[in-house]
Chains A and B, each alone.
Chain A
Amino acid sequence: MHTPSSDPRPSIYYRYEVHAPWLPVHDGEVQEHDVLVVGAGPAGLCTALELARLGVRSVVLNAELQVSQGSRAIVFTRRSMEILQQVGVAERVTASGLPWRHGNSYYRGQHVFRMEAPHDPHDRFFPMINLQQQFLEEYLLDACAANPLIDLRWGNRCAAVRQDGERAIAAIETPAGDYAIHARWLVAADGGRSGIRSGLGLPLEGDSYEGFFVIADIRVDLPLPTERRAYFDPPWNPGNTVLMHREPLGIWRIDYQLPPGESPQQALQPESLKARIDAQLAMIGHGDARWELDWSSVYSARALTLSDYVHGRVLFVGDAAHLLPIFGVRGANTGFQDAQSLAWHLAFVVRGLAGPALLSNYSRERVGAAREIIAEAGKSTRFMTPPSDGFQLLRDAVLSLSLSQDFVRPLYHWRTSRPHEYSSSRLNCPGDDDRLFDAGPADGAPPRNVRLGSDDFLLDHVGGALDLLWFGDAPTVPADVWRVIGAYRERGVPIRLTTVGMTRTVDGAERSLPDAAGAMRERYGVPASGAAYLLRPDQHVCARWMTLDAARLRAAVDHLLAAGEGSA
């Protein structure tokens, strides 16, 4: 028996809707499903939506009856928006979020560094956009509710998971009885405190840093732009760091490090929060501003990952798979990339297009991404929360020098989340022309967006299938290339053709992009007609050729599908 609260969570800006729980018809019943997603946070919901786009049904469990408490993840990157566009919610995020591209660092009242994230005219989305996680979850949940392939179950808690080699067996508790789901595949998207991870006894590798940070969301009217603000060694919190972010609806996030020895319980006392928020507002010259607290929480900086995201029939995604430091907005933003990757790998396996070993490629690519993020995040974390006397001295020396010396100021710029390049992916085609290209995204890299019109971009049109971009100039696609595409489609392999640079629509192609100004050719490094790119369903490149023919296309697709052969 599981009794989630049916009282709406408190908030001064978000109206929580309490949903009716999903209840089993019979206590103790057993259901069979292809895919069970445990957890309805951003990673779980994106996984379900991407699976559905590839034609795979799933059951999604949400232990609660409402969306998450507090704003939680508030900064979403351009790549996250490109992924959210794929699952159909980017327009709503754009409509309600606050886009930004500048970060500022302050020390002793002086503005010592200003970061400007690049924003190319060929990009649809800003480098960053701020939105409270409740809204993002609401948009994703609405998209799930509208999708007939997704069975979302509120108030269903996964109490235990065991496996018998062929399937995962989940014991599920609801407000009116318990039941079981036998799933061919179970997606563990149950968050940073994953009960499935601890139930399987899986250790995390990486680093934990000392020190706690408080997150406090307040409503306050500050005449400041949407930019990241970082205050180092402020007089009211010596030696520590304070961050501020603007959120929609007049909310500001204040994020401050606690002095050593102070417990999270002490820090969250109302008088402690009030004194510090007052001190921060006073320091930035707004001590007279009236404010109201919405939510507060405490976190510590950790950089940890599972070494494998596939354990039998259980597949880990998002925070259940890794715990990444908040600096550089790496939590949810990494989770979206995981979800997008896991969904297509899993869909190909469920649909029988590739063997289960394909899932080990998901694990290899995303564990590699997490390890790279941990290495990068370590640098920022060592600057934000120096772990030893030596790091403390160097950080303090840089702060001090930065008041007069330009050369140390870039050290304030912690690297922000970016899409991982799967440069050594097993799916990259070994016999293609990757190395002959001087420009454009290489094998394994994420795609490069291209503006095609005032409100029309390349990435509006690709993803969720294998996409062949053919830069031809002949009036028709060669007949033998067509036959190869047709043969894959007959086998159920989702593969689409987009022609680039042809003046008229080509029969059978999903679309033709005229590319009159040559932007596509330039951004993809195509010097002559006949070249082609093959994109995976997560839009990453897996092959590119200076000249494409039927045999080369078949070699690339067969190579990708063959990664599912052998043992997982």
Chain B
Amino acid sequence: MNENGVSAALDVTALEDVYDTLAAAIDSAGPQKASLFLVKLALLNAHALGDAERFREHVAIALRDA
């Protein structure tokens, strides 16, 4: 884990893949449903993470520098 509490398990290639997949999915959901899609995704990821405390840390990081 790096200093931001983010797992370093994704290498750059995999991160680029996530980047493209997410961008395409947001476009696919469309502007009306993008927020709903992202919330569903966050809930799925949180469930997979299995750690409410780390989820709270991720929320704090994502709220930063917006």
CA distance A396 to B35 in the complex (A): 10
Complex interface residues of chain A between 388 and 409 (CB less than 8 A to chain B): 393-394, 396-398, 400-401, 405, 407-408
User: Is there contact, CB below 8 Å, between A394 and B47?
Assistant: no
User: Is there contact, CB below 8 Å, between A393 and B43?
Assistant: no
Which residues from chain B contact A401 at a C-beta distance below 8 Å? 40, 43-44
Interface assignment of B15: CB less than 8 Å from any CB of chain A = no
Binding site for B on A (CB under 8 A): 393-394, 396-398, 400-401, 405, 407-408
User: Is there contact, CB below 8 Å, between A408 and B43?
Assistant: yes
Interface assignment of B36: CB less than 8 Å from any CB of chain A = yes
CA distance A400 to B39 in the complex (A): 10
User: Is there contact, CB below 8 Å, between B39 and A397?
Assistant: yes
Q: Which residue of A lies closest to B41 (CB)?
A: A397
Complex interface residues of chain B between 36 and 66 (CB less than 8 A to chain A): 36, 39-40, 43-44, 47
User: Is there contact, CB below 8 Å, between A397 and B47?
Assistant: no
Tally of contacts, chain A with chain B, CB under 8 A: 21
Which residues from chain A contact B39 at a C-beta distance below 8 Å? 393-394, 396-397
Which residues from chain B contact A398 at a C-beta distance below 8 Å? 43
Among B35, B43, B44, the most chain A Cβ lie within 10 Å of the Cβ of B43
User: Is there contact, CB below 8 Å, between B36 and A393?
Assistant: yes
Which residues from chain A contact B40 at a C-beta distance below 8 Å? 397, 400-401
Top 6 nearest A-B pairs by Cβ distance?
A397-B39, A397-B40, A393-B39, A407-B47, A401-B40, A393-B35
CA distance A426 to B12 in the complex (A): 61
Binding site for A on B (CB under 8 A): 35-36, 39-40, 43-44, 47
Chain B interface helix/strand/loop/mixed? helix
Which residues from chain B contact A397 at a C-beta distance below 8 Å? 36, 39-40, 43
CA distance A393 to B37 in the complex (A): 9
CA distance A407 to B45 in the complex (A): 12
Which residues from chain A contact B35 at a C-beta distance below 8 Å? 393
What would 14 A/B residue contacts be, using CB atoms closer than 8 Å? A393-B35, A393-B36, A393-B39, A394-B43, A396-B36, A397-B39, A397-B43, A400-B36, A400-B40, A401-B40, A401-B43, A401-B44, A405-B44, A405-B47
CA distance A401 to B47 in the complex (A): 12
Q: Which residue of B lies closest to A405 (CB)?
A: B44
Which residues from chain B contact A400 at a C-beta distance below 8 Å? 36, 40
CA distance A504 to B2 in the complex (A): 72
CA distance A219 to B53 in the complex (A): 50
Report the minimum CB–CB distance from A349 to chain B (whole Å): 46
CA distance A393 to B43 in the complex (A): 12
Which residues from chain A contact B36 at a C-beta distance below 8 Å? 393, 396-397, 400
Which residues from chain A contact B47 at a C-beta distance below 8 Å? 405, 407
Which residues from chain B contact A408 at a C-beta distance below 8 Å? 43
CA distance A358 to B35 in the complex (A): 54
CA distance A405 to B48 in the complex (A): 12
CA distance A400 to B43 in the complex (A): 11
Q: Which residue of B lies closest to A389 (CB)?
A: B35
Q: Which residue of B lies closest to A401 (CB)?
A: B40
Q: Which residue of A lies closest to B35 (CB)?
A: A393
CA distance A405 to B43 in the complex (A): 11
Q: Which residue of B lies closest to A394 (CB)?
A: B39
Which residues from chain A contact B44 at a C-beta distance below 8 Å? 401, 405
CA distance A394 to B47 in the complex (A): 14
CA distance A408 to B44 in the complex (A): 9
CA distance A396 to B43 in the complex (A): 12
CA distance A400 to B42 in the complex (A): 13
CA distance A397 to B43 in the complex (A): 8
Report the minimum CB–CB distance from A190 to chain B (whole Å): 44
Report the minimum CB–CB distance from A271 to chain B (whole Å): 32
Report the minimum CB–CB distance from B51 to chain A (whole Å): 14
Q: Which residue of B lies closest to A395 (CB)?
A: B39
CA distance A38 to B11 in the complex (A): 72
Q: Which residue of B lies closest to A393 (CB)?
A: B39
Q: Which residue of A lies closest to B42 (CB)?
A: A397
CA distance A407 to B50 in the complex (A): 11
Apart from A393-B35, A393-B39, list 17 A-B contacts with CB within 8 A: A393-B36, A394-B39, A394-B43, A396-B36, A396-B39, A397-B36, A397-B39, A397-B40, A397-B43, A398-B43, A400-B40, A401-B40, A401-B43, A401-B44, A405-B47, A407-B47, A408-B43
Report the minimum CB–CB distance from B44 to chain A (whole Å): 7
Which residues from chain B contact A407 at a C-beta distance below 8 Å? 47
Which residues from chain B contact A393 at a C-beta distance below 8 Å? 35-36, 39
CA distance A397 to B34 in the complex (A): 11
Which residues from chain B contact A394 at a C-beta distance below 8 Å? 39, 43
Report the minimum CB–CB distance from A256 to chain B (whole Å): 23
CA distance A328 to B8 in the complex (A): 44
CA distance A394 to B39 in the complex (A): 7
Q: Which residue of B lies closest to A397 (CB)?
A: B39
